[in-house]
Structure 1
Amino acid sequence: MADHVRWGILGAANFALTQMGPAIHAARGGALTALATSTAGKAAPFADFAPGLMVFNDYDALLASEDIDAVYIPLPNSLHVEYTRKALEAGKHVLCEKPLAMEAGQFDDLIALRNRTGLLAAEAYMIVHHPQWQRAKALYEDGAIGRLVAVNAAFSYNNPDASNIRNRPEMGGGGIPDIGVYTYGSTRFVTGEEPEEVLFADIARENGVDVRAHVAARFPSFLFTGYTSMRMAPYQEMVFHGERGILRLTAPFNPMVYGQAMVILQDSEQRVTTERFPRDNHYVRQVEAFNSSVRDGTPYPCPLEFSRGTQAMIDMVFAAER
């Protein structure tokens, strides 16, 4: 491998163009080297910020290249497992968009393949790399809010476009796969606990995908309640309510887009402390953590086992609906 991680992207997805491609280009320890797309014109805006970009006309050709060390996969959800496996078998490290799999059991073969190849494979779960979430976890673990009693979660946006992949069941669409990973996964990340039982799942569907879900779940030491929706005005918030304090994140999932990242701590005397994180880019931090893990063996903050746990909770929610 070169003195930096040489990245390729499978597919010219808009999210890759606007967020992850620039993040890969900006992150220390790596460089955006190649793009695979069957539509040559889609490569031009990538080359604007990554001069010298190699362009392959199909995914397998990029995976076969000896000039690529790692791939980022922003393909439709239904293709994530297949191309994560292909990339690992081709000797590439893999960062795949969430949800990496559509069922928890699909992680098992990938974990075994990761272990067998010695390569890094991870879901692109960027929020755990953001300092607001690292700070929230540290405050919780330090006892800042006392014994946790309740977690309240909300994440919504309005996307009725029937052609969008989030609204297409054959591509693994749905609100829970798209944003439930954040409300469920962030709860697990901060608390270190796993759900024991989903008590309630009221899910509205359109054209075969979930467009709104209200969920209640029992964890060992607290109760989780929350909703996700693809048919409501944009909103996001996470609240951890303990016996001695309240911890709030007001732009937990899309800082710099939805609002400024803040961790707000209110104690039992209603004194409020606010910490702000105005310039931190969690996509860049995610790629830098990946590069460091590939180059130096630094433990990666979000291994496949963690992502499997979030998918297991998603599976529990859908099972409770049935």
Structure 2
Amino acid sequence: MEEKKFNQIGVSFKGSGSYVPDQILTNQKISKKVDTSDEWIKSRTGISERRISSLGDNVTDMGYKAALNAIEKANWDVNTIDLIVLATSTPHDLFGSAPSIQAKLGASNAVAFDLTAACSGFLFALITASQFLKGGNFKRAVVIGADQLSSFVDWNDRRSCILFGDGAGALAIEATNEFDNFIGFNMRTDGERGSFLNLPFKNDRDSIIDNIDFLRGGFSPIQMNGQEVYKFAVKEVPIILKKLLKETNYSSERVDWLVLHQANQRILDSVGDKLKIPREKILSNLEKYGNTSAGTIPLMIDEAIKNNKIKQNDIIATSGFGAGLSWGAALIKWG
């Protein structure tokens, strides 16, 4: 049987969705656990509170709820979805959580897989899915970013525990032969600097029998050199965004919204200043959710759409950056 090939050249954005757990961990509550304060955290990060998964939450459920929301916004029949890509570094199943989301959605015709790139994950997944659609074999895709970093935080480390939260977001994208709203992208990796941000394997040695040893599975808490990650982000993100704007013949004045990975408010402001993008065009919900890794960008886009900020045909410049070290940028038109 001959494989079906669609005649398509571009990608359109049809719907967005998000989900965050109910539990709210404020700066004041963290201050009862470690030596810090609301003023200290806000002044250095911009974060006031973050969401923490309850015992009943996991990445599969969070991703499913965000995806279902996006599918409903797109008004799609789940049987018409061809591809599901889940960006996560904290899967509910280390073998992959995307297939479980596919099953919960009932999207039996979709191929589903996980993509791991930490805080760059959603952007990398969106780029990956868009290339599948432009290739002509798939028509509809759901791209999900979901992470449950609370499970991997050292809650006694005041340098890192203040930063992270849990959440998920999703976009429904569709191939089209009429236009292309995925205007352009760039991606970078520098493994030489990868030690600045890790969720490392524990390396706990054990023995099976006699002289046959092995390493028992498991991971240590998140380890981060915050100063180096900050310097990396404020240097590299403006460079890759400027390069992308130049390559696509867009000026920063034509950008309606700057949607960056929500890591630190000072990073967001610094990148915007270097691109000469005014503060009112820099979208931020960091204060409420903290750093949700792969969840931040789609969570921010969905919130901005619900709040009637992002509208049809708005130009969005976006960048994800983090562990790897990896970073990327994309320029899209909503709709």
- Shorter-chain TM-score above 0.5: no
Task: Tell me the TM-score normalised to structure 1 length.
Answer: 0.29
Greater relative contact order structure (CA < 8 Å, 6+ sep): 2
Task: Tell me the TM-score normalised to structure 2 length.
Answer: 0.28
